[in-house]
Homo-oligomer: A and B are copies of this chain.
């Protein structure tokens, strides 16, 4: 951390700052310039609250040098982490396909889709149960019943299952779910992150549509510092000015997150684009950019889906995407 002082800082206040920094185990080296004095902080500054320094009268600005995340930081854990979901491995070189419907609608729908997806190469089944809809007048999902049907589809198909958690109190209901997922709108729901951290279940942590890479990694830090190392990062689009896609898929997040962190990184091209015609090119782009997998919304009959129809692909498209990414991966790209 580098602290830039205002011109002619009050000496007593400066002494107070130096003493406080030393008490935190941080060394300080001072650079006196013609116009400005700079303090270089040496040691582990990740527990120093930057605001406590910025607020001081003698301080003009503070710049971080070291990343504020530790557990998720590749610097302290150089090799790729691999997260196990049943027998499926995420990270470390493979490419997984997670697929399922925007909403679980009934037993026949989810069980038959699970069977189809398994035969087409899907590794994990997911399905929406508690739907968060912009309008209170839209279909809100089957909720508890949706989870029960998803668990049924796990038994009939043999696929591990993934479901979204939006409140700590849902952990009991999700006992048989293999992989949790936190939605983008909950990326800064810290109570939830702590609860997921204590649960020790593998979890997909989705980036919020307005979050920076660093903020995403700080949310991973909440889960990991609560005792759960099995975090999978997920890029799902950010909000920009472009109206033709629901969100702007930030493909750079994949290589940058993999540089900054050892955690696996997957992509959600369905939620990002909001358009079924873009799922294939964005899934292929994700694989080419180094993602460890994709999560996609698949429905046997999108035109009659109870929600997310416009962004759902049909199973045959899912199969084509999985085949193409396999070729792409075998070519070592």
Residues of A that sit less than 8 Å from B by CB: 2, 4, 27, 29, 31-36, 38, 40-44, 46-47, 49, 51-52, 54-57, 61, 63, 65-66, 68, 75, 132-139, 166-167, 169, 185-186, 188-191, 208-210, 212-215, 218, 221-222, 225-226, 238-245, 248-252, 254-256, 259, 272-273, 277-278, 281-282, 284-290, 302-303, 305, 307-310, 312, 324, 327-328, 331, 333
Contacts and interface: CB of A to CB of B under 8 A. Distances in A.
- Copies per complex? 4
A52 B304 CA distance: 7
Nearest to A52: B309
Contacts of A132: 188, 190
Contact of A185 (B63, B188, B250, B284): B188
Given A40-B38, A49-B307, A135-B218, A278 B255 contact: yes
Nearest to A54: B310
A305 B49 CA distance: 12
A324 B327 CA distance: 12
A309 to B, nearest CB: 3
Given A134-B215, A333-B284, A333-B324, A40 B33 contact: yes
Contacts of A251: 249, 251, 281-282, 285
A34 B43 contact: yes
Contact of A281 (B137, B281, B290): B290
Nearest to A46: B137
Contact of A221 (B34, B44, B136, B290): B136
Contact of A189 (B186, B210, B221): B186
A137 B252 CA distance: 28
A138 to B, nearest CB: 5
Residue of A42, A61, A185, A251 most packed against chain B (CB within 10 A):
A251
B250 A242 contact: yes
